Amino acid sequence: MKITEDGLSVHDGHAYGPLADAALRRAVTGRRRLARLHHEAFALSDGQLRYEVYRIIRYVTQGAPSANQIFSLAREIRRGTRLELTVPDRLPSA
């Protein structure tokens, strides 16, 4: 087992610890929010849809998404394309 930082260790190509658990929880929550957004998409204006896409990406990645990502994903949702956020059982390490 290799300790990479406090709260995060790596073993057999997967991350473990409180930080890895938090990342997995964010991914699960993001997946639920994305599924809910698919059902509500046609009731939202374009601006509201883009804002919700922004919030989901920002929440899951903890980084600011580019405007191109937001517009592209919102366009796909508006077209009815089902976007899926896969969540693994364990967090793979790079």
pTM of the model: 0.79
Are the C-beta atoms of residues 41 and 77 closer than 8 Å to each other? yes
Are the C-beta atoms of residues 87 and 31 closer than 8 Å to each other? yes
Lookup: tokens for 79: 């077209």
Half-sphere exposure in the Cβ direction for 74 (13 Å, CA)? 21
Bridge partners (DSSP) of residue 5 are 8
pLDDT tens string, the chain, 94 residues long: the values are 566 667 777 777 777 778 888 888 888 999 999 999 999 999 999 999 999 999 999 999 888 999 999 999 999 999 988 888 777 766 667 6
Judge residue 62's burial from the number of C-beta atoms within 10 Å of its C-beta, 0-12 exposed, 13-18 middle, 19 or more buried.
Answer: exposed
